[in-house]
A and B are shown apart, each in its own frame.
Chain A
Amino acid sequence: MMKKVTVYITLKQGVLDPEGKAIGESLNALGYQEIVDARVGKFIELQVDEGPNLEERMNEMCDRLLANPIIEDYRFQVEEAVQS
Protein backbone atom coordinates (compact mmCIF):
# COMPACT_ATOMS: atom_id res chain seq x y z
CA MET A 1 0.00 0.00 0.00
CA MET A 2 1.07 3.51 -0.72
CA LYS A 3 1.07 6.04 2.11
CA LYS A 4 1.09 9.79 1.99
CA VAL A 5 3.34 11.32 4.62
CA THR A 6 3.09 15.03 5.23
CA VAL A 7 6.01 16.55 7.09
CA TYR A 8 5.62 19.94 8.80
CA ILE A 9 8.76 21.85 9.71
CA THR A 10 8.94 25.05 11.74
CA LEU A 11 11.64 26.93 13.56
CA LYS A 12 11.88 25.89 17.19
CA GLN A 13 10.10 27.93 19.79
CA GLY A 14 12.73 30.26 21.19
CA VAL A 15 14.54 30.53 17.86
CA LEU A 16 13.86 33.94 16.33
CA ASP A 17 11.65 33.71 13.25
CA PRO A 18 11.99 37.14 11.60
CA GLU A 19 9.79 36.19 8.66
CA GLY A 20 6.99 35.02 10.97
CA LYS A 21 7.39 38.18 13.00
CA ALA A 22 7.08 40.36 9.87
CA ILE A 23 3.94 38.45 8.80
CA GLY A 24 2.38 38.83 12.26
CA GLU A 25 3.09 42.55 12.23
CA SER A 26 1.61 42.89 8.75
CA LEU A 27 -1.59 41.18 9.89
CA ASN A 28 -1.69 43.58 12.85
CA ALA A 29 -1.20 46.48 10.42
CA LEU A 30 -4.21 45.26 8.43
CA GLY A 31 -6.27 45.53 11.59
CA TYR A 32 -6.15 41.92 12.79
CA GLN A 33 -5.14 42.78 16.32
CA GLU A 34 -5.96 39.27 17.52
CA ILE A 35 -2.74 37.96 15.92
CA VAL A 36 -0.23 37.57 18.72
CA ASP A 37 2.40 35.48 16.99
CA ALA A 38 3.14 33.93 13.59
CA ARG A 39 5.60 31.16 12.77
CA VAL A 40 6.60 30.29 9.23
CA GLY A 41 7.53 26.80 8.15
CA LYS A 42 7.35 24.42 5.28
CA PHE A 43 5.57 21.23 4.54
CA ILE A 44 6.76 18.36 2.43
CA GLU A 45 4.48 15.69 0.94
CA LEU A 46 5.99 12.29 0.41
CA GLN A 47 4.53 9.29 -1.35
CA VAL A 48 5.93 6.29 0.46
CA ASP A 49 5.81 2.58 -0.23
CA GLU A 50 4.56 1.11 2.98
CA GLY A 51 7.15 -1.04 4.73
CA PRO A 52 8.24 -1.93 8.22
CA ASN A 53 9.35 0.82 10.62
CA LEU A 54 7.72 3.63 8.65
CA GLU A 55 7.54 5.96 11.67
CA GLU A 56 11.08 5.21 12.73
CA ARG A 57 12.43 5.72 9.23
CA MET A 58 10.48 8.94 8.83
CA ASN A 59 11.97 10.28 12.07
CA GLU A 60 15.39 9.34 10.80
CA MET A 61 14.79 11.11 7.47
CA CYS A 62 13.63 14.23 9.28
CA ASP A 63 16.64 14.24 11.59
CA ARG A 64 19.14 13.55 8.83
CA LEU A 65 17.85 15.79 6.06
CA LEU A 66 14.34 17.22 6.04
CA ALA A 67 14.75 19.28 9.21
CA ASN A 68 17.79 20.69 10.95
CA PRO A 69 17.24 19.63 14.57
CA ILE A 70 19.49 22.44 15.82
CA ILE A 71 17.00 25.10 14.78
CA GLU A 72 13.86 23.29 13.63
CA ASP A 73 11.04 21.13 15.00
CA TYR A 74 9.10 18.74 12.84
CA ARG A 75 6.05 16.56 12.97
CA PHE A 76 4.49 14.36 10.35
CA GLN A 77 1.25 12.60 9.67
CA VAL A 78 0.70 9.39 7.78
CA GLU A 79 -2.41 8.81 5.66
CA GLU A 80 -3.57 6.33 3.09
CA ALA A 81 -2.52 7.68 -0.29
CA VAL A 82 -5.41 8.36 -2.62
CA GLN A 83 -4.92 6.29 -5.75
CA SER A 84 -5.27 8.42 -8.82
Chain B
Amino acid sequence: MKFAVIVFPGSNCDRDMYHAVKDVLGAEADLVWYQSSNLKEYDGILLPGGFSYGDYLRSGAVAATSDMMKQIKEQAKAGKPVLGVCNGFQILTESGLLPGALMRNKNLSFMCHQENLIVENNETLFTSGYEKGEVVKFPIAHGEGNYFCDEKTLNELKTNNQIVFTYQSNPNGSTHDIAGIVNKEGNVLGMMPHPERAVEKLLGSDDGLRLFQSVIQNWRNSYVTN
Protein backbone atom coordinates (compact mmCIF):
# COMPACT_ATOMS: atom_id res chain seq x y z
CA MET B 1 0.00 0.00 0.00
CA LYS B 2 1.36 3.38 -0.99
CA PHE B 3 0.57 6.46 1.06
CA ALA B 4 0.72 10.10 0.06
CA VAL B 5 1.61 12.44 2.92
CA ILE B 6 0.37 15.82 1.71
CA VAL B 7 2.64 18.78 2.42
CA PHE B 8 1.15 22.28 2.41
CA PRO B 9 3.20 25.38 3.14
CA GLY B 10 3.13 25.39 6.94
CA SER B 11 2.54 21.67 7.48
CA ASN B 12 4.86 20.55 10.26
CA CYS B 13 3.80 17.03 11.24
CA ASP B 14 4.44 15.70 7.75
CA ARG B 15 7.75 14.11 8.76
CA ASP B 16 6.17 12.44 11.79
CA MET B 17 3.43 10.99 9.59
CA TYR B 18 5.95 9.84 7.00
CA HIS B 19 8.14 8.29 9.71
CA ALA B 20 5.17 6.42 11.18
CA VAL B 21 4.04 4.76 7.96
CA LYS B 22 7.38 4.40 6.21
CA ASP B 23 9.93 3.65 8.93
CA VAL B 24 7.81 2.14 11.68
CA LEU B 25 5.23 0.28 9.58
CA GLY B 26 7.37 -0.37 6.54
CA ALA B 27 4.70 0.80 4.10
CA GLU B 28 5.47 2.78 0.97
CA ALA B 29 5.04 6.51 1.36
CA ASP B 30 5.95 9.76 -0.32
CA LEU B 31 5.87 13.34 0.89
CA VAL B 32 3.65 14.97 -1.75
CA TRP B 33 3.92 18.73 -2.24
CA TYR B 34 0.51 20.38 -2.51
CA GLN B 35 1.14 21.49 -6.09
CA SER B 36 1.58 17.92 -7.33
CA SER B 37 -1.08 16.47 -9.56
CA ASN B 38 -0.35 12.77 -9.25
CA LEU B 39 -2.58 11.75 -6.36
CA LYS B 40 -4.11 8.94 -8.39
CA GLU B 41 -0.93 6.91 -7.92
CA TYR B 42 -1.58 6.49 -4.21
CA ASP B 43 -3.77 4.08 -2.28
CA GLY B 44 -4.19 6.19 0.83
CA ILE B 45 -3.96 9.89 1.65
CA LEU B 46 -2.60 11.33 4.89
CA LEU B 47 -3.19 14.98 5.73
CA PRO B 48 -0.74 15.89 8.48
CA GLY B 49 -0.91 18.50 11.19
CA GLY B 50 0.71 21.89 11.33
CA PHE B 51 -0.31 25.40 10.40
CA SER B 52 -1.05 25.35 6.69
CA TYR B 53 -0.86 28.90 5.34
CA GLY B 54 -0.11 30.16 8.84
CA ASP B 55 -3.71 29.46 9.89
CA TYR B 56 -4.69 32.59 7.93
CA LEU B 57 -8.41 33.39 8.00
CA ARG B 58 -9.29 30.16 9.83
CA SER B 59 -7.27 26.99 10.42
CA GLY B 60 -7.40 24.96 7.23
CA ALA B 61 -9.53 27.47 5.32
CA VAL B 62 -6.92 28.44 2.74
CA ALA B 63 -5.66 24.90 2.16
CA ALA B 64 -9.28 23.84 1.62
CA THR B 65 -9.45 26.02 -1.50
CA SER B 66 -6.37 24.44 -3.11
CA ASP B 67 -6.37 22.29 -6.21
CA MET B 68 -4.88 19.54 -4.05
CA MET B 69 -8.12 19.42 -2.06
CA LYS B 70 -10.08 18.99 -5.30
CA GLN B 71 -7.92 15.98 -6.06
CA ILE B 72 -8.37 14.65 -2.53
CA LYS B 73 -12.15 15.00 -2.85
CA GLU B 74 -12.04 12.96 -6.06
CA GLN B 75 -9.95 10.25 -4.45
CA ALA B 76 -12.18 10.22 -1.37
CA LYS B 77 -15.20 9.84 -3.62
CA ALA B 78 -13.49 6.91 -5.27
CA GLY B 79 -13.37 5.28 -1.83
CA LYS B 80 -9.69 5.67 -0.97
CA PRO B 81 -8.89 6.06 2.73
CA VAL B 82 -8.17 9.66 3.75
CA LEU B 83 -6.85 10.44 7.24
CA GLY B 84 -6.60 14.03 8.45
CA VAL B 85 -4.88 14.66 11.76
CA CYS B 86 -4.99 17.98 13.65
CA ASN B 87 -4.63 20.65 10.94
CA GLY B 88 -5.54 17.84 8.52
CA PHE B 89 -8.86 17.45 10.36
CA GLN B 90 -9.39 21.22 10.17
CA ILE B 91 -8.78 21.12 6.41
CA LEU B 92 -11.26 18.25 6.04
CA THR B 93 -14.03 20.16 7.83
CA GLU B 94 -13.26 23.41 6.01
CA SER B 95 -13.43 21.64 2.67
CA GLY B 96 -16.73 20.00 3.55
CA LEU B 97 -15.44 16.43 3.43
CA LEU B 98 -16.41 16.15 7.10
CA PRO B 99 -19.24 17.99 8.88
CA GLY B 100 -18.79 20.53 11.66
CA ALA B 101 -15.98 22.95 12.45
CA LEU B 102 -12.99 23.23 14.79
CA MET B 103 -12.93 26.24 17.06
CA ARG B 104 -10.59 27.78 19.56
CA ASN B 105 -10.08 25.62 22.65
CA LYS B 106 -12.52 26.55 25.38
CA ASN B 107 -9.70 27.63 27.72
CA LEU B 108 -7.95 29.59 24.91
CA SER B 109 -4.69 27.69 25.50
CA PHE B 110 -2.58 25.72 23.10
CA MET B 111 -2.48 22.27 24.69
CA CYS B 112 0.21 19.68 24.17
CA HIS B 113 -0.03 16.50 26.22
CA GLN B 114 -1.24 12.89 26.22
CA GLU B 115 -4.98 12.25 26.26
CA ASN B 116 -6.96 9.10 26.83
CA LEU B 117 -9.41 8.42 24.02
CA ILE B 118 -12.30 5.99 23.88
CA VAL B 119 -12.71 3.99 20.69
CA GLU B 120 -16.43 4.51 20.04
CA ASN B 121 -16.55 2.78 16.68
CA ASN B 122 -14.23 -0.08 15.75
CA GLU B 123 -16.10 -0.91 12.57
CA THR B 124 -14.23 1.53 10.36
CA LEU B 125 -11.29 0.74 8.12
CA PHE B 126 -9.17 2.84 10.47
CA THR B 127 -10.16 1.24 13.75
CA SER B 128 -10.85 -2.43 13.08
CA GLY B 129 -7.70 -3.30 15.06
CA TYR B 130 -9.16 -1.84 18.27
CA GLU B 131 -11.80 -3.09 20.66
CA LYS B 132 -15.00 -1.09 20.95
CA GLY B 133 -14.80 0.94 24.16
CA GLU B 134 -11.06 0.45 24.44
CA VAL B 135 -9.11 3.34 25.97
CA VAL B 136 -6.05 4.43 23.99
CA LYS B 137 -3.44 7.07 24.68
CA PHE B 138 -2.59 9.61 21.93
CA PRO B 139 -0.91 13.00 22.25
CA ILE B 140 -2.81 16.15 21.39
CA ALA B 141 -1.15 19.40 20.27
CA HIS B 142 -3.62 22.07 19.25
CA GLY B 143 -5.07 25.47 20.00
CA GLU B 144 -8.18 25.00 17.87
CA GLY B 145 -9.49 21.52 18.48
CA ASN B 146 -12.84 22.34 19.96
CA TYR B 147 -15.17 20.40 17.67
CA PHE B 148 -18.46 22.14 17.05
CA CYS B 149 -21.58 21.08 15.20
CA ASP B 150 -25.27 21.84 15.57
CA GLU B 151 -27.69 19.41 17.15
CA LYS B 152 -29.00 18.15 13.84
CA THR B 153 -25.49 17.25 12.67
CA LEU B 154 -24.67 15.66 16.02
CA ASN B 155 -27.77 13.46 15.74
CA GLU B 156 -26.72 12.44 12.25
CA LEU B 157 -23.21 11.61 13.49
CA LYS B 158 -24.72 9.43 16.21
CA THR B 159 -27.28 7.76 13.96
CA ASN B 160 -24.69 6.91 11.32
CA ASN B 161 -22.12 5.77 13.87
CA GLN B 162 -19.67 8.42 12.62
CA ILE B 163 -18.16 9.27 16.00
CA VAL B 164 -14.96 7.23 16.11
CA PHE B 165 -12.98 8.64 19.06
CA THR B 166 -14.09 10.63 22.10
CA TYR B 167 -12.01 12.13 24.91
CA GLN B 168 -12.22 10.38 28.24
CA SER B 169 -11.73 13.75 29.88
CA ASN B 170 -12.64 16.55 27.46
CA PRO B 171 -9.65 18.95 27.22
CA ASN B 172 -10.96 21.54 24.76
CA GLY B 173 -14.73 21.90 25.04
CA SER B 174 -15.58 19.68 22.05
CA THR B 175 -19.24 18.95 21.44
CA HIS B 176 -20.08 15.51 22.84
CA ASP B 177 -16.36 15.03 23.75
CA ILE B 178 -15.65 14.36 20.08
CA ALA B 179 -12.00 13.73 19.16
CA GLY B 180 -12.47 12.11 15.76
CA ILE B 181 -15.21 11.42 13.20
CA VAL B 182 -15.61 9.67 9.86
CA ASN B 183 -17.74 10.63 6.88
CA LYS B 184 -20.93 8.67 6.17
CA GLU B 185 -19.12 6.37 3.77
CA GLY B 186 -16.49 5.63 6.43
CA ASN B 187 -13.37 6.24 4.32
CA VAL B 188 -12.49 9.75 5.55
CA LEU B 189 -11.35 10.08 9.17
CA GLY B 190 -10.54 13.38 10.84
CA MET B 191 -9.14 13.56 14.35
CA MET B 192 -7.35 16.11 16.52
CA PRO B 193 -5.12 13.69 18.50
CA HIS B 194 -1.97 12.42 16.79
CA PRO B 195 -1.85 8.66 16.14
CA GLU B 196 1.39 9.17 14.16
CA ARG B 197 3.07 10.38 17.34
CA ALA B 198 1.99 7.29 19.22
CA VAL B 199 3.80 4.58 17.30
CA GLU B 200 6.74 3.85 19.60
CA LYS B 201 6.60 2.84 23.26
CA LEU B 202 9.81 4.74 23.85
CA LEU B 203 7.96 7.95 23.04
CA GLY B 204 5.09 7.32 25.42
CA SER B 205 2.62 5.16 23.55
CA ASP B 206 2.31 2.88 20.57
CA ASP B 207 -1.48 2.84 20.58
CA GLY B 208 -1.52 4.65 17.23
CA LEU B 209 0.17 1.78 15.42
CA ARG B 210 -3.01 -0.23 15.09
CA LEU B 211 -4.75 2.64 13.31
CA PHE B 212 -2.28 2.52 10.44
CA GLN B 213 -2.12 -1.28 10.59
CA SER B 214 -5.92 -1.38 10.28
CA VAL B 215 -5.82 0.80 7.17
CA ILE B 216 -3.17 -1.40 5.57
CA GLN B 217 -4.89 -4.63 6.56
CA ASN B 218 -8.24 -3.49 5.21
CA TRP B 219 -6.66 -2.32 2.00
CA ARG B 220 -5.03 -5.74 1.57
CA ASN B 221 -8.31 -7.50 2.28
CA SER B 222 -10.18 -5.42 -0.29
CA TYR B 223 -7.41 -6.01 -2.78
CA VAL B 224 -7.55 -9.77 -2.32
CA THR B 225 -11.33 -10.11 -2.45
CA ASN B 226 -11.68 -7.84 -5.47
Contacts and interface: CB of A to CB of B under 8 A. Distances in A.
A18 B107 contact: yes
A15 B104 CA distance: 11
B61 A65 contact: yes
Interface string B207-223: 00000000000000000
A65 B150 CA distance: 20
Interface stretch (A26-34, A49-57, A66-74): A66-74
A63 to B, nearest CB: 11
A15 B61 contact: no
Interface in B100-143: 100-101, 103-108
A34 to B, nearest CB: 24
B173 interface: yes
A81 interface: no
A56 B100 CA distance: 25
Interface residues of B, number: 17
Contact of B101 (A16, A18, A22, A70): A70
A65 B104 contact: no
A contact face: mostly helix, strand, loop, or mixed:
mixed
Contacts of B148: 15, 70-71
A19 interface: yes
B57 A16 contact: no
Contacts of B108: 18-19, 22
Nearest to B93: A70
Interface of B: 57-58, 61, 65, 94, 100-101, 103-108, 148-150, 173
13 contacts: A11-B103, A15-B103, A16-B103, A16-B106, A18-B104, A18-B105, A18-B108, A65-B61, A65-B65, A66-B57, A68-B61, A70-B150, A71-B101
